[in-house]
Amino acid sequence: MISRISSLSSPTSLSLSNALRQVKHWLWDADLRLQRRGLQLALLAILAAVAMLSEFYVHGQFRDIPGLLNADHVKVLYGVKDVDLSRVEAPIAATLVKASVAAVLFAAVIGLADVIFYHRLVGRPFDWESMINISVVNNVFLLTVLFTFVNPLIEDALVYYDNALSVVPTIVHLNGFVAIIIAGLIADFCYYWSHRWGHKIRLFWNLGHVNHHRSRNLTQLTYPIDPPTLFLNIGNGKVFVLVMLPVLAKVFSTDIHDSGWALAFIMIFEAWTTPSHSVVLYYAELRSGILRALRWIFVTPAVHFTHHSREDQHNISDGCNFGARFTLWDRIFGTYVEPPPYIPATGLFSDDADYCNTPLRYLFHPYVRMFQELRRNNIRYWPAIIFGRTSYDPPVPVRSSV
Ligand SMILES: [Zn+2]
Ligand SMILES: [Zn+2]
């Protein structure tokens, strides 16, 4: 009787709740796979083309360090504002600009090669829907974090940069080249630990680094950028090159003009290591002893790719190969793992980990999951839920498919 009354009295509310359920299904639960024929195939082709173009753009913006493409910024970077770049520093400035452009173009070509050769190298079809999802996630990142916070901050940082540089003390007087290599090692030490904490501590992991590791279809065109850890990874990216390296170098040398060529060397090397999620470059390393030998010192693409492995032997209590440029710190702290002689499976370690097949779920799933954990557990477990180790499970666990 009651059900009869309710069904008679609220057809509108029923249809509204049905509609809401449908919306939730499409935004959150659905596996948005398109069929490989007819109109759906055409739609997939269009979405994939847009996703690839936007990925080139996003990664170009993210990686390219726009400030370095401007000679005036290069002058500020070296603290040589009054120097005529067309004479004294011209070769260094030109090399830096060319290396920056080369890094972006090389990453784009490698990204395309990854898509073309993925099936042949990995043995699985390329997952186009995953690429489209990740491209939406990365574009949201670009529109929000990069344009709203990072780029304006970098402009401000450059304005005050030469003043800041003048107050940095020099504690030992080394050659500029040596100074910047030492500075690079210190910056990498900071990156190593911020990245390792990003894996170990629930707050940092769930703030977004988990999303960077979610892709089982990892290539140079399908790696999600995680906005929050951009700020945690202080030894990496724009902040590393624009601010940390020159400031740290000043600690070890009064004349950082000498360090220009070392920085140019690092930038050229970055052109090779920037596509660090590439299956094609992984394969190149498998075929070349010279490229493999570089792992003694540098984080090559295969070394970072192995950081994304979900195979048991690479999970040394929550991860391996945390360094950005040098393998030294992973070797010292026992987290270095030699890349296997095949391209390892990537993604999250647990088999019941959520695949997140809609963009919205991809972006917000970790936050929703942590919120559910807090809601379902007593307040005395909250510190452990927020600041505990990533491996911690609260008394009332939340299934990965919340
Ligand atoms: Zn990581
Ligand atoms: Zn990565």
Q: What is the pLDDT of residue 7?
A: 46
Helix, coil or strand: residue 346: strand
Domain ranges (residues) in the chain: 37-355
What is the Å distance from ligand 2's center to 137 Cα? 15
226 CA → ligand 1 middle, Å: 10
Q: Which two tokens stand for residue 260?
A: 């220009």
At residue 368, the 3 state secondary structure works out as helix
The structure's pTM equals: 0.84
- Comparing 6-10, 95-99, 176-180, which segment has the lowest mean pLDDT? 6-10
Residue that the structure tokens 């987290």 belong to: 335
The pair of structure tokens assigned to 365 is 């799933």
CA-closest candidate to residue 189, choices 301, 309, 324: 324
- CA 210 to ligand 1 center in whole angstroms: 8
For residues 323-345, one letter each, b for 16 or more C-beta atoms within 10 angstroms of the residue's C-beta and e for the rest, the string is bbbbbbbbeeeebbbebeeebbe
Q: Which ligand is nearest to the CA of 229?
A: 1
Indicate if the pLDDT at residue 402 is higher than 70.
no
Instruction: Calculate how far, in angstroms, residue 276's C-alpha sits from the geometric centre of ligand 2.
Output: 7
Question: Which tokens hold the place of 40?
Answer: 């759906």
Q: What is the pLDDT of residues 72-89, one digit of tens each?
A: 544 444 444 444 444 445
Residue-wise pLDDT for 237-283, tens only, equals 445 555 566 677 777 776 656 666 666 677 677 778 878 899 999 99
Amino acid at 342: Y
Question: What tokens were used for 380?
Answer: 């005395």
- pLDDT of residue 9 exceeding 60: no
